[in-house]
Amino acid sequence: MNEILNMNINEMANISFDCSCGKTHHLDIRKIVMGSNVISELPSILEDFKRKKIYILSDNNTWKAAGEKVYHTLKGNHFDVSSTMIERDENILIPDEKAVGEMFMGLPADTGMIISVGSGTLNDMAKYMSSRAKIPYTIVCTAPSMDGYASSGAPLMNGGRKISYTATLPYAIIGDTDIMKNAPMKMILAGYGDIIGKLTALADWKLSHEITGEYYCETIVKLVQKAINKVVDTRFDLAKRDEDAIFYLIEALILTGVAMGLIGVSRPASGAEHMLSHYWEMAVIATGKNPELHGIKVGIATPIITKIFDKMKDTLPESVFKMAPSAKYTTQLLRDVNAPINPQEAGIDNDLFYRSILEGNTVRKRYSILDYAVKHGNIEKIADEITRNYYMDI
């Protein structure tokens, strides 16, 4: 059981172990390959699919970043490869009905392996396709921007709402640090924000365990905390695109996905901070605008959620309050890397912000500090105080 806490990320594929929580954890990901120039290893990683059709999915940005190299690496090794590149004038690809339709329409008959080249959106789209078409998929990561590489959920837009569909885990995860260290700095900061959000996600999980009796695993918590600590300890090197700092960031993002895969739920990675992010995103998309990157919004939401923990400290179980970070600490972690802190930087006006605190708990059926504040009758007062804190002119 304790061996997993000392493993490197490349050793965790296909792992299975009996845990002190009473469950047997298993990760159904065949291969995890991270490091410098690992795209060149694709022919050997996908050797079992050499006589099958390979379908590569990318957008115009990720094709330039890595898709073209993936295509020619496999083509040059005699793989049967086809490709769909989804072009968008905007910088952000929205995983809506149109994009998902384009993806499916380009899928050749008798495809044996889907390769998605990208980060959050393209990974979500590919895992959805994989689960519905019953074709395995491999993700080639292009940015350390989010934690969904190793998770089975696929958040997609449908009818203007963000819905998390049950999908599947990838056959393989390929994380080439030579590619990811050159990702736009905003995407690196998004990944960092997503990792800082795990601090409140873990506290929410502990809160639900104490209040509702929800299943909780100390081993998984320790695994995620160890990954967070590596990122925090090397945060000042991210601006230099230091390879070790980038490696620890993508390792942490994949590890939190591994943690979700091991227990079958997203508790180790997603709490009230994600609920605020999803609430904001749906509202912004409804106006026809592009939302801010997921991890940037999660980072902004994390100190907000810690403020709610702070305000509820007198009634919280002691074990939960000890686990929850302070607003001061989480704010400083964001300041240290020049990541956005104010919700206004993500296009969130004061009315949307206020409503998100009041109604954020409705985004998912998952107990969190938001539900706790609602139950104790404090949510209106808290929403008013925190909104005034961020929007001084109202």
pLDDT recorded at residue 129: 96
pLDDT recorded at residue 394: 42
Question: What is the overall mean pLDDT for the chain?
Answer: 93
Q: Which residue has the tokens 């390879």?
A: 243
Nearest to 261 by CA among 158, 171, 346, 174: 171
Counting Cα atoms < 13 Å in the Cβ hemisphere of 336 gives: 17
CATH 3.40.50.1970 is the classification of domain 2-180: yes
pLDDT in tens, 126-136: 999 999 999 99
Q: Which residue has the tokens 């808290």?
A: 382
Torsion of CA 78, 79, 84, 87, to 10 degrees: -50
For residue 232 the two structure tokens come to: 């925090």
Q: What is the mean pLDDT of residues 273-289?
A: 91
**pLDDT bucket at 388, cuts 50 / 70 / 90:** very high
pLDDT of 379 > 90? The answer is yes
What is the sign, positive or negative, of the torsion defined by CA atoms of 10, 95, 159, 195? positive
Return the CATH class of domain 185-214+267-390: mainly alpha
pLDDT in tens, 87-123: 877 657 888 999 999 999 999 999 999 999 998 899 9
Could you tell me where the DSSP H helices lie in the chain? 42-45, 60-62, 68-75, 97-105, 120-133, 177-180, 185-196, 198-212, 218-233, 243-263, 272-286, 294-311, 318-323, 327-335, 350-359, 369-375, 379-390
pLDDT recorded at residue 238: 96
Contacts of residue 392, defined as CB under 8 A and 6 or more positions apart, other chains included, come to none
> CA triplet 184, 190, 196: central angle to 5 degrees?
145
pLDDT of 393 > 80? The answer is no
C-beta neighbour count of 112 within 10 angstroms: 17
> CA triplet 27, 48, 146: central angle to 5 degrees?
40
Cβ atoms of 121 and 98 closer than 8 Å: no
Please tell me what DSSP assigns to residue 66: I
Residues comprising the chain, all counted: 394
Counting Cα atoms < 13 Å in the Cβ hemisphere of 259 gives: 29
**pLDDT bucket at 72, cuts 50 / 70 / 90:** very high
Dist. CA 199–CA 224, nearest whole Å:
9
Residue 188 phi/psi, 5-degree rounding, is -65, -45
Q: Provide the whole-model pTM.
A: 0.88
Question: Can you give the residue ranges of every domain in the chain?
Answer: 2-180, 185-214+267-390
pLDDT recorded at residue 90: 63
- DSSP result, 348-376: --HHHHHHHHHHGGGSSS---HHHHHHHT
Cβ atoms of 72 and 43 closer than 8 Å: no
pLDDT in tens, 198-232: 999 999 999 999 999 999 999 999 999 999 999 99
3-state secondary structure of 385: helix
Encoded amino acid at 253, one letter: L
Dist. CA 73–CA 375, nearest whole Å:
56
Cβ atoms of 201 and 273 closer than 8 Å: yes
Cβ atoms of 191 and 145 closer than 8 Å: yes
Share of the chain above pLDDT 70, in %: 98
pLDDT recorded at residue 264: 84
Cβ atoms of 272 and 370 closer than 8 Å: yes
pLDDT of 55 > 70? The answer is yes
pLDDT of 1 > 80? The answer is no
pLDDT recorded at residue 53: 97
